[in-house]
Amino acid sequence: MILNLIHLPNFQKLVSMSLKELFEKVQDGSLRTYRPKSDSRFHRDFEVDLEGDIMEWYDNNPDTILSESIYSQGISHSDKAEISILLAKWCSFSEWRCWEARLFLYVEPSLNYSISNTNDFLNFSLWNNFHSCLSKTDKKSYSESVVLDWMKRREELGETMEPSEDPRILPTMNSHSNSSELLHIFLNNFDSEDVGLLIGREYLEYESWTLNGNFLYEGGTVNND
């Protein structure tokens, strides 16, 4: 699962530009003025990689009308979503990634309902609800609750919690602690109308990615509802 916090005003500016202006800004380096300052505690895609991907998209879509913006193009939903995702990542403050199996540990105990399958994690409403739950607890308490829940689940499965019997116990415990703390920090920054949540995962079709619950081929409308 891949989550990004997006600076919405800059994203809206980029998707509203004509493609000619957009690609010229990539080529002369001025697009970098639209990139928000990163949160050093998190990774995000490098400028040079995204610039290369944007220009590759241009090479692969020769039938675009350069005088028009992305959402005015007569191209497929997939192609519109692909370039929109690249521009959203360009406007990202920070990125948080996690194996989907671990998300059940980090998210489900805080919600008042069960998560039926990993596709539920693609729903903006789930993350919005989870964000509200996290706002009621501090980072340390949340992280400790995740680790305790993980220990309880292992014991219920009859798995050992003795490091001498399983050398992976302590590294896994530290991993859960660090990842959950970062998730708390990450979502704690999702607290402004200027910040959006980009939701996707590796190998997910472009048209299935969302920004604040909106598909990225539908015109770039973003909100925090």
- Which residue carries 């992976």 as its tokens? 168
Q: Which residue has the higher pLDDT, 218 or 207?
A: 207
Give the chain's radius of gyration (CA, Å).
Answer: 20
Question: 219 pLDDT band (50/70/90 cuts)?
Answer: low
Mean pLDDT of the chain: 91
Q: For residues 207 and 9, is the Cβ–Cβ distance under 8 A?
A: no
What confidence score (pLDDT) does residue 150 get? 85
Alpha-carbon distance of 51 to 26, in angstroms, equals 6
pLDDT over 90 percentage in the chain: 76
Q: Domain limits of the chain?
A: 2-98+193-215, 100-186
Supply 68's token pair: 């028009």
Question: 222 pLDDT band (50/70/90 cuts)?
Answer: very low
Alpha-carbon distance of 79 to 211, in angstroms, equals 16
Question: 223 pLDDT band (50/70/90 cuts)?
Answer: very low
What confidence score (pLDDT) does residue 22 get? 97
Q: What angle (nearest 5°) sits at the alpha carbon of residue 214, between those of residues 213 and 218?
A: 170
Residue 221: pLDDT above 70?
no
What confidence score (pLDDT) does residue 214 get? 95
Residue 57: pLDDT above 60?
yes
Query: Residue 29 corresponds to which amino acid?
Result: G
Alpha-carbon distance of 147 to 175, in angstroms, equals 10
What confidence score (pLDDT) does residue 168 get? 77
> Which tens digit of pLDDT belongs to each residue from 163-172?
777 777 788 8
What confidence score (pLDDT) does residue 121 get? 96
Query: Residue 84 corresponds to which amino acid?
Result: S
Strand order in 195-200's β-sheet? 92-97, 2-7, 195-200, 210-211, 214-215
Entry pTM: 0.90
**Distance set, CA 11 to CA 15, 87, 110 (Å):** 6, 7, 31
> Which tens digit of pLDDT belongs to each residue from 104-162?
999 998 998 889 899 999 999 999 999 999 999 999 999 999 998 888 888 777 777 77
- Which residue carries 């990450």 as its tokens? 186
Average the pLDDT over each of 35-39, 45-49, 80-84, 217-221 and give the range with the smallest value. Answer: 217-221
Question: 61 pLDDT band (50/70/90 cuts)?
Answer: very high
